[in-house]
Amino acid sequence: HPRHLAGLGIEHSGKPLLLDAACELPSSAPGRRTGHQIKFHVVAFRSLLFEPKSRRSANAVQSHLWLLVMNADWLLMGDIPARAARLWGDDLALAFREQRWTHRQFAEDVDRVAKGLLALGLAQGDHVAVWMTNRPEWLHLMYAIPRVGACIVPLNTRYRTDDVAYTVIQSQSRFLISIDQSGPINYGEMLADASAQIIEGGYLEAIVMLGEHLPDTIGWESMIESGKSVSTEALATRAGAVTVEDRMMLAYTSGTTGHPKGVVHSHKPVRNTAERAMLLGHSKNDVHMSYLPLFHAYGFSEVAMMAALTGGSQVLFDVFDPDEVLDAVEKENGTVLHGFDSHWADLTRAQKLQARDVSSLRVGTLPAGMESTVPVAREVQDLFCPTTSGFGMSETWAFIASSHLSDSLEQRVEASGYPMYGIEFQIRDLDDGRELQAGETGALFVRGYTVTSGYWGKPEATAEVFDADGWLDTGDVASIRPDGHVVFVGRHKDMLKVGGENVSPAEVEGYLLNVEGIEEIAVVGYPDDRLVEVPVAFVVASSQLSGDEILERCRGKIASFKIPRHVIFIDEMPTTPSGKIRKVELREWAKTRL
Q: What is the pLDDT of residue 584?
A: 82
Q: Reduce the DSSP state of residue 269 to 3 states and report it.
A: helix
Q: What is the pLDDT of residue 444?
A: 95
DSSP structural state of residue 299? I
CATH of the domain at 431: 3.40.50.12780
Phi first, then psi, for residue 368 (nearest 5°) are -115, -165
Is 358 contained in some domain? yes
Is 308 contained in some domain? yes
Q: Provide the pairing of β-strand 127-131 with 175-179.
A: parallel
Does residue 411 share a domain with residue 371? yes
Question: Among 263, 281, 302, which residue terminates a domain?
Answer: 263
Q: What is the pLDDT of residue 31?
A: 34
Using alpha carbons, select from 372, 391, 384 the residue that is nearest to residue 344. Answer: 384
Dist CA 352 CA 271 (whole Å): 38
Give the DSSP per-residue string, 494-551: S-EEETTEEE-HHHHHHHHTTSTTEEEEEEEEEEETTTEEEEEEEEEESS---HHHHH
Report pTM.
0.80
Contact 442, 489 (CB under 8 A): no
Q: What is the pLDDT of residue 55?
A: 37
Contact 202, 119 (CB under 8 A): no
Number of folded domains that form the chain: 3
Dist CA 251 CA 267 (whole Å): 13
Does residue 391 share a domain with residue 467? yes
Using alpha carbons, select from 384, 388, 324 the residue that is nearest to residue 360. Answer: 384
Q: At what angle do helices 58-70 and 35-44 cross, to 10 degrees?
A: 160
555 HSE (CA, 13 A, CB side): 8
First-to-final CA distance of the chain? 62
Q: What is the pLDDT of residue 89?
A: 96
One-letter amino acid for residue 332 of the chain: E
Q: Which residues of the chain, if any, have pLDDT below 50?
A: 1-10, 16-72, 256, 578
DSSP structural state of residue 240? H
Does residue 115 share a domain with residue 43? no
Dist CA 116 CA 228 (whole Å): 7
Contact 149, 241 (CB under 8 A): yes
CATH of the domain at 566: 3.30.300.30
Q: At what angle do helices 269-279 and 58-70 cross, to 10 degrees?
A: 160
Contact 110, 147 (CB under 8 A): yes
Q: 3-state SS of the chain: helix, strand, coil percent to 5? A: 40, 25, 35
Contact 131, 155 (CB under 8 A): yes
Question: Among 436, 467, 491, which residue terminates a domain?
Answer: 491
Does residue 461 share a domain with residue 386? yes
Q: What is the pLDDT of residue 275?
A: 86
Q: At what angle do helices 322-332 and 341-353 cross, to 10 degrees?
A: 70
Is 437 contained in some domain? yes
Question: Among 239, 263, 287, which residue terminates a domain?
Answer: 263
Does residue 282 share a domain with residue 182? no
DSSP structural state of residue 289? E
Dist CA 317 CA 304 (whole Å): 12
Does residue 272 share a domain with residue 259? no
| Residue numbers of the domain that contains 275 | 21-70+268-491
pLDDT in tens, 285-327: 999 999 999 999 999 999 999 999 999 999 999 999 999 999 9
Q: What is the pLDDT of residue 238?
A: 98
Q: What is the pLDDT of residue 108?
A: 99
Residue 66 CB neighbour total at 10 angstroms? 21
Does residue 579 share a domain with residue 454? no
Residue 30 CB neighbour total at 10 angstroms? 9
Does residue 372 share a domain with residue 386? yes
